[in-house]
Amino acid sequence: MTKRTPNTQLRNLVAESGLTYAALAKEVRAVAAECGVPLRTNKSTIEHWISGAVPAADTGRYLAVALSRQLGRLLTLHDLGLAPENEEDELGLSLGEDPLDVLLPMWRHELNRRSFLTTSAYSVAAAGLPLSYVREIADRTAAARTGQTIGMAEVAAVRDMVRIFSEMDERHGGQHGRSALVQYLRDDVASLCRGRFHSEEIRQQMLSAASRGVHLLGWKSYDAGQQGLAQRYYLQSYALAVESGIPGHDGFVMRTMAMQGLKLQRPEHCQALAETGLDRAKGKVDTQTEALFRVVHAHTLAKSRQRHAAVAEAERARSLLAADRGDEVPFWALSWGPPAASVYSRSAKVYETLGERSTAAEQYARAAASRPSGYARIVALDLVASAEMQLKGGGIEQACATWNRAMDHMDGVRSVRTRKAVNRMRSDLARFRSRGVRCAAELEERAVEFLAAA
């Protein structure tokens, strides 16, 4: 029988973390759950790993993330003594001189169906990178590599293609067209970004358009429940936005990263990201776009229990919408469609966090009504959130009616989030079905049919 060599690197890191083996096992299970993987890791499992056993499948990555969160620095499988040094573990989790040098191998791995990216977990350490990312963006000395001269026609073409992919995403869910988007960004947009430009302004606009495309890829990953991969794309979208120099665009990606952290219950950097993003944009963008920044800031304030400040900031966001003079909204700020709908939806989350369910339900419904007809997925999710608030307020019949409206929009949508919403609905309504409430029973039948077809 082969004798195992104790893993002293892992033992020392666990000791440094201050976690008991049982507590660490709980954290590993939590990270895995974020990635949609149920684990039974327990105290004995941790003991086996420290004695030299190697975690199966992706469990080692979940362990690395759990310890990274506890110690406040990024750890890899190599750091834990579980694998040889491998640059792939950190791919996308840093901000280098040229984001395309990071994105190209990421896209290669995506198209080759490499699982280490899609199963990666959210990193708290990486979430703080934009806050400390301070450097001068030098002009690209390699801008003439392709010999192609890029003008605004090419920028417009990239924007049009990204818009088409975005509309497809909203209508059919994040799993539609993902590989095609990766190929388009890799084969077309990357080479355009490294072309020769007619002017510096055109170069900036092209990098900004590329950032929006990578941002959409992050959103598709988010919709698929691949939070670690989404975060890596958001970081590289941020790097492209910084390099573009377009006022407010880098702050908008920071805003997105704050939203992701809030969703995952990882608040460590969210308020700082939202505040910094707002500072990068205010006074430099139109009123509708500034409202988008302020309402996310309001949500972070609500999460940190600053009730009065959160309500005041949410009201300020809605006042900015009312004060709109018809100024053009930047291309990158239209990632989720009309700003007003996004402001109402995020305002609802502020009031939900503050326990004001009735107001939250009204704002979610207002958001759904404000979106274009093609935005099937997000309309459905807004209505689901409204129904959940109505149910918590005691309105079972009203909630069922709203859930039915939500499901009307789900046909043809391939989205992990919509499936989760339907499963959550079934759980919420279980006690009402057992009491013989008719609308709950009818929704159950509809849910079963939807999940079987999805």
- Global pTM value: 0.74
Output phi, psi for 48, to 5 deg: -65, -40
Q: What token pair was written down for 148? A: 């192609």
Q: What token pair was written down for 158? A: 């990239």
Give the other-Cβ count within 10 Å of 395's Cβ.
Answer: 17
pLDDT recorded at residue 85? 57
pLDDT recorded at residue 140? 31
**Cα-Cα-Cα-Cα dihedral of 224, 225, 229, 235, to 10°?**
100
- Write the secondary structure of the chain as one string of H (helix), E (strand) and C (coil): CCCCCCCHHHHHHHHHHCCCHHHHHHHHHHHHHHCCCCCCCCHHHHHHHHCCCCCCCCHHHHHHHHHHHHHCCCCCCCCCCCCCCCHHHHCCCCCCCCHHHHHHHHHHHHHCCCHHHHCCCCCHHHHCHHHHCCCCCCCCCCCCCCCCEECHHHHHHHHHHHHHHHHHHHHHCCCCCHHHHHHHHHHHHHHHHCCEECCHHHHHHHHHHHHHHHHHHHHHHHHCCCHHHHHHHHHHHHHHHHHHCCCCHHHHHHHHHHHHHHHCCCCCCHHHHHHHHHHHHCCCCCHHHHHHHHHHHHHHHHHCCCHHHHHHHHHHHHHHHHCCCCCCCCHHHHCCCCHHHHHHHHHHHHHHHCCCHHHHHHHHHHHHHHCCCCCHHHHHHHHHHHHHHHHHCCCHHHHHHHHHHHHHCCCCCCCHHHHHHHHHHHHHHHHHHHCCCHHHHHHHHHHHHHHHHC
Exposure string over 192-212, b if 16+ CB within 10 A, otherwise e: bbbbebeeeebbbbbbbbbbb
| Residue pLDDT tens, the chain, 454 long | 456 789 999 999 999 999 999 999 999 998 888 777 889 999 999 999 999 999 987 898 889 878 877 887 767 777 898 877 555 566 777 777 678 877 878 888 777 765 555 556 556 556 666 665 433 322 332 333 334 578 899 999 999 999 988 888 877 776 777 888 888 888 888 878 877 788 899 999 999 999 999 999 999 998 888 888 899 999 999 999 999 999 999 999 999 999 999 998 888 889 999 999 999 999 999 999 999 999 999 999 999 999 999 999 999 999 999 998 889 999 999 988 889 999 999 999 999 999 999 999 999 999 999 998 888 889 999 999 999 999 999 999 999 999 999 999 998 887 888 999 999 999 999 999 999 999 999 999 999 999 988 6
CA terminus-to-terminus distance, the chain: 48
pLDDT recorded at residue 135? 35
pLDDT recorded at residue 433? 95
